Structure 1
Amino acid sequence: MPLQTVEPQRLYRQIAEQLRSLISKGEFAAGTRLPAERDLAKQLGVSRPSVREALIAMEVEGWVEVRTGSGVYVLDRSVRASRSKGPQVTLTEWGPLELIRARRVVEGEIASMAALQARRKDIDAMRAAIDMMVTDANRGVLPLDGDRAFHSAIVEACGNVVLIETVQSFWDSRRGPLFTRLTGYFETMKSWQSAIAEHEAILAAICAHDGPAARTAMHTHMDKSHSRFSASWRRAKTS
């Protein structure tokens, strides 16, 4: 297959562009299944998460359809035209998995700072956010509001406006179609129960004013979040 190694700059968009070009040239006909994620990653010389982000972007834009448990299939032009009228992935949208890696670096240090600086009102805000997450999860609602409130409370405890606005930008990016579609495949009530427990561990370290432990707990949370979004398509939505 005439694929070319790509450079790591807005990587998922470069991958998607190559695949769209091949589809347009007839390399992959409508109705055919694309090569497996791992095979595309090997031929392109990139990571599987980057390929996943590209495939999700292409699905949002109506080029392919992801069939859980089966694979990724090329759509015909008429279906692609109708689907492309929905929300589109912008040129500046961050890749969700790349975003999680960036959050690991930044929010790990933020958690460490918060452990040393958090006051009672900050701790109370973190606890209230987790309680909100638990309530929503028990109602069968994805607890995104409580999740954002928790991470916002941590950064606000640091009292640094630049960090606060940085974390807000991370969360604003979750509203994009790429992250929304990925969430639809890989976030379940079971995965959120695990995430809530990870938040509890972060809060416990902050309450103990243990900076290194808070950093480690945040790193663990982000690593597990990355793993959940990187699960096999065949395992998505099985729980």
Structure 2
Amino acid sequence: MPFQKIQPQKIASAVDQQIEELILQGILRPGDRLPSERDLAERLGVSRPSLREAISDLQNKGLLESRAGSGIFVTEVLGSAFSSALVTLFAGHDRAVFDYVSFRRDMEGLAAERATQCGSDTDLQVIDAIFRKMETAHAEGDDVREARLDAEFHLSIMEASHNVVMLHMMRSMFDLLQQGVFYNRQAMFHQETTADLMLEQHRAINNALQARDPKAARDACESHMEYVSSCLQAQKQRDENETIARLRLASETNSS
């Protein structure tokens, strides 16, 4: 008969699995610092030698890293799904910008739909709380904070979809956005009319999620990303027009 004796699980392995699960679910994020050894051992109810063994195993797996004089951190490399060569390639070509927006449109529409079905009430409360902060930042004209909250809002929807592959992929995409690889999110919020419309679009997304309406949530997300695409296309056209206008001005100046 294909039965084997049950082996008791080592305490270090249980600690290892719990930390892995927190990283997988996006609760522990790239760059997050773990509590001190004493504090973490007390929280987990394990001995410090068992904790050290678990931490060592996670470091060998590349999930945690030790920084001299600072502590133990979730490795930053987990925040990037793209090689540096590919990032450079993205940054040098306009097509990547519009493909990025198109990809987000599809993925975020799906995530919003899933969030209405799979998200807990607490998930939806988190999304709503972030949106309320966006409203405050908008009213105060704080473009930097509003842009940051915009990213948090979209990532919170990914988290509420409870698909860990989607979550980690999109977190990598947002990391590139914050680095300015694709476009300047803050600049979009700096334009008053655009910022007003974007806030209303986020309101529509939030309302659909709170109502647990999958179709409305997906439609609202897709419409928002289509608007972002149209804004970027319009800006690209303005930049091209300005380049031509400067050439004409230079020509007129030289001919006189």
Q: TM-score, normalised by structure 2?
A: 0.52
Percent identity between the two aligned chains: 28
Residue in 1 that maps onto 2:120: 119
Contact persistence 1:126–1:153 (CA under 8 A):
yes
Deviations 1:165-191, CA, capped at 9 Å, x for gaps: 112112111123443558637852321
Show structure 1 runs of 5+ residues with no match.
1-88
**Are 2:152 and 1:149 equivalent residues in the alignment?**
yes
Look up the match of 1:214: 217
User: What is the alpha-carbon root mean square deviation over aligned residues?
Assistant: 2.6
What is aligned with 2:88? 90
> After TM superposition, which residue ranges in structure 1, 4 or more long, deviate above 3 angstroms?
176-187
Q: Secondary structure at the match of 2:88?
A: coil
Which amino acid letter does the alignment assign opposite residue 216 of structure 1?
D
Aligned position for 2:110 = 109
Counterpart among 195, 202, 207 of residue 205 in structure 2: 202
Contact 1:182 1:229 in 2 (8 A): no
Instruction: Give the residue type in structure 1 aligned to 2:88.
Output: T
1:168-219 CA-to-partner distances (Å, cap 9, x unmatched) read 1121111234435586378523211111111111111112221111111111
Gaps of 5+ in 2: 1-86, 243-256
Give how far 1:227 is off.
0.9
Give how far 1:139 is off.
2.2
Query: Which of 164, 170, 175 is residue 172 of structure 1 equivalent to?
Result: 175
Q: Quick check: 2:111–2:161 contact (8 Å CA) kept in 1?
A: yes
Q: Is residue 114–residue 155 contact of structure 1 (8 Å, CA) maintained in 2?
A: yes
Structure 1 pair 229–111 and aligned structure 2 pair: CA distance change class (3 A): same
Q: Please give the residue correspondences for 1:23-102 in structure 2 after superposition, counting only pairs within 5 Å.
A: 90-93=88-91, 95-102=96-103
Give 3-state SS (helix, strand or coil) of 1:174's partner: helix
Aligned equivalents of 2:153 and 2:184: distance in 1?
23
Give the CA deviation at 1:150.
Answer: 0.9
Give distance in 2, aligned partners of 1:147 and 1:195. Answer: 9
Take 2:189 and 2:125, find their aligned partners in 1: how far apart are those partners?
30
Q: Go from structure 1 to structure 2 and tell me whether the alpha carbon gap of 1:186 and 1:136 turns closer, same or farther (over 3 Å shift).
A: closer
CA deviation vs aligned residue, 1:89-130 (integer Å, no higher than 9, x gap): 822447322211110011111111011122221111111111
**Cα distance change of structure 1 residues 220 and 185 upon mapping to structure 2, 3 Å threshold:** closer
| Alpha-carbon distance in structure 2 between the residues aligned to 1:186 and 1:130 | 15
Structure with the bigger percentage of helix: 2
Q: Which residue of 2 aligns with 1:139?
A: 140
Quickly say closer, same or farther: Cα 1:185–1:112, change in 2 above 3 A: closer
CA distance change for structure 1 residues 141 and 103 in 2, over 3 Å: closer, same or farther?
A: same
